Amino acid sequence: MQVLGIFYYWVFAILLMIGFYAVVAKINLVKKLIGLSIFQSAVFLLYLTMGKVTGGTAPIYQDDAVNQLFSNPLPQVLILTAIVVGISTTALGLGIVVRIKEEYGSIEEQEIQEIDRR
């Protein structure tokens, strides 16, 4: 049961490896970027899980309630920033892919290398 009890870490690790595999193994530049996005999303999930407190509620302070258990809001705030960074990276990466397509007429890594070698 211990293995299943930390299933969220398994989700993180598996997603991370799927993304990493795509970045390394795919030769199509857009697929590489998709892999990179999956890779980053895995890390977002890692941060989200660490903020969860069992039985905790949204961190809104109320006067009448006593001894309320709150989830930690900080990881979510951090990851909001990291998501913005991730989107910018993907956008810039896609922008570069468009320029590569314009210049080389291809978005396959090997074909680009061959064109350069000529």
Partner 1 sequence: MTPLEFHLPALQVAAPMLLAPVVALLRPRGLAWAATLVASLMALAIAIGLTQGALSGESFSYAMGGWEPPYGIELHVDMFSALVLLIVTGASSIALMAGKASLDKAVEHSRQPLFYSAWLLVLSGLAGILVSADAFNIFVFMEISSLASYIVVAGGTDRRALPAVFKYLIMGTIGATFYLIGIGLIYMMTGTLNLADMELRIHDVADQRPILVAAGFITVGLALKAAVFPLHVWLPNAYTYAPHAVTAFLAACATKVSLYVLLRFDFVVFQQNLLGHEFQFAAFLMPLAVLAILAGSAVALFESNIKRLLAYSSVAQIGYILLGASLVSLAGLSASLLHMFNHALAKGTLFLAVMALAMRFTRLDLRHLAGSAQHMPWTMAAFVIAGLSLIGVPGTAGFISKWYLVSAALEAGPVGFFLIAVVVIGSLMAVVYIWRIIETAWFEPPTEAGEVIREAPVTMLAVVWLAALANIYFGLATDLPRELAAGAAASLLGQLP
Site for partner 1 in 51-90 (CB under 8 A): 75, 78, 81-82, 85, 88-89
For residues 43 and 11, give the distance between their C-alpha atoms in angstroms, rounded to a whole number: 10
**How many other CB atoms are found less than 10 A from the CB of residue 104?**
15
For residues 32 and 19, give the distance between their C-alpha atoms in angstroms, rounded to a whole number: 9
CB of residue 32 to partner 1, shortest distance in Å: 6
Decide: is 15 part of the binding site for partner 1 (CB under 8 A).
no
CB of residue 71 to partner 1, shortest distance in Å: 14
* Bridge partners of residue 70, in order along the sequence: 57
Instruction: Return the residue of 11, 23, 34, 83 that touches partner 1, per CB under 8 A.
Output: 23
Backbone angles phi, psi at 111, to 5 degrees: -60, -40
Backbone angles phi, psi at 57, to 5 degrees: -120, 180
CB of residue 47 to partner 1, shortest distance in Å: 5
CB of residue 64 to partner 1, shortest distance in Å: 27
**How many other CB atoms are found less than 10 A from the CB of residue 79?**
19
* Bridge partners of residue 56, in order along the sequence: none
Residues that bind partner 1 (CB under 8 A): 20, 23, 29, 32, 36, 39-40, 43, 46-47, 50, 75, 78, 81-82, 85, 88-89, 92-93, 96-97, 99-100, 103-104, 109, 112-113, 116
